[in-house]
């Protein structure tokens, strides 16, 4: 059974949604990143970059146990393993990969930096907040234009590109975004949010979702000395 080493964050939710969509049995191994579980030797052995999500597939390539980190790589792996959620048509397949890369290199890191400077940083730096606010809005505009042309990012088919992007677009109020300003994104968001596998995916570990301000321990693990210690 596939092991998902994970936590209920947008990057974790990508893998929860994918596993629910493809219907492969899986076991969740919670990695509480606020409590520092990502620095434990057993997790570092799977992901030396100490970030969730990671998977372990006991029946990986060649029938061998296989560890994988980076959510985009995990989505491609699971799609290829099952032949699901990556288009077969070559052009649509590359479009799916294109928008997956756009999420991994743009949406995820930029929205993450917005969260950091606008919500988590103790020192509020107007330049940083303005820069990432502008990027978040710009990236929503790019998505909106694409979704005016097609129902899903790769075209007609729902794919791993949508699964990667959806968890970062949900809860838009956390990024100061009103989806009414991006009607095509809103329609796409609502269609995906209604999928039963997505409802199940975002419920994984939901009881552990952080509510309220970060504790001193969470801050230390995520942004302090512990985060940057040489390993």
Residues that bind ligand GSH (CB under 6 A): 9-11, 33, 38, 50-53, 70-71, 108, 222, 227
Residue closer to ligand GSH by CB (options 104, 179) is 104
Contact 119, 175 (CB under 8 A): no
Least separation in angstroms between CB 34 and ligand GSH:
9
Cα(120)–Cα(136) distance, integer angstroms: 16
Residue closer to ligand GSH by CB (options 51, 189) is 51
Residue closer to ligand GSH by CB (options 34, 187) is 34
Residue closer to ligand GSH by CB (options 70, 191) is 70
Least separation in angstroms between CB 70 and ligand GSH:
5
Residue closer to ligand GSH by CB (options 53, 87) is 53
Cα(188)–Cα(197) distance, integer angstroms: 16
Contact 45, 51 (CB under 8 A): no
Least separation in angstroms between CB 164 and ligand GSH:
8
The burial of 42, by beta-carbon neighbours within 10 Å (0-12 exposed, 13-18 middle, 19 or more buried), is given as exposed
Q: Is 131 helix (H, G, I), strand (E, B) or coil?
A: helix
Contact 71, 53 (CB under 8 A): yes
Least separation in angstroms between CB 214 and ligand GSH:
12
Contact 46, 56 (CB under 8 A): yes
Contact 52, 38 (CB under 8 A): yes
Least separation in angstroms between CB 9 and ligand GSH:
4
């Amino acid at each position: 059974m596939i092991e998902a080493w994970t936590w209920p964050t947008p990057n974790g939710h990508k893998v929860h949604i994918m596993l629910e969509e493809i219907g492969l049995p899986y076991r969740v191994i919670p990695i509480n990143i606020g409590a520092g579980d990502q620095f434990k030797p057993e997790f570092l052995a799977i992901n030396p970059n100490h970030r969730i999500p990671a998977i372990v597939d006991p029946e990986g390539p060649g029938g061998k146990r296989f560890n994988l980190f980076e959510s985009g790589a995990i989505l491609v792996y699971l799609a290829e393993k099952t032949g699901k959620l990556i288009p077969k048509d070559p052009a649509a397949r590359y479009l799916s990969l294109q928008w997956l890369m756009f999420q991994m290199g743009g949406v995820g890191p930029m929205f993450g930096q917005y969260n950091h400077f606008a919500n988590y940083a103790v020192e509020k730096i107007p330049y940083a907040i303005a820069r990432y606010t502008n990027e978040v809005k710009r990236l929503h505009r790019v998505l909106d234009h694409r979704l005016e042309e097609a129902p899903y990012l790769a075209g007609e088919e729902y794919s791993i590109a949508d699964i990667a992007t959806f968890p970062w677009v949900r809860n838009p109020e956390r990024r100061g975004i009103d989806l009414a300003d991006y009607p095509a994104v809103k329609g796409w968001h609502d269609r995906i949010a209604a999928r039963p596998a997505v409802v199940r995916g975002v419920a994984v570990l939901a009881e552990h979702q952080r509510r309220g301000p970060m504790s001193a321990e969470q801050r230390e693990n995520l942004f302090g000395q512990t985060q940057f210690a040489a390993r």
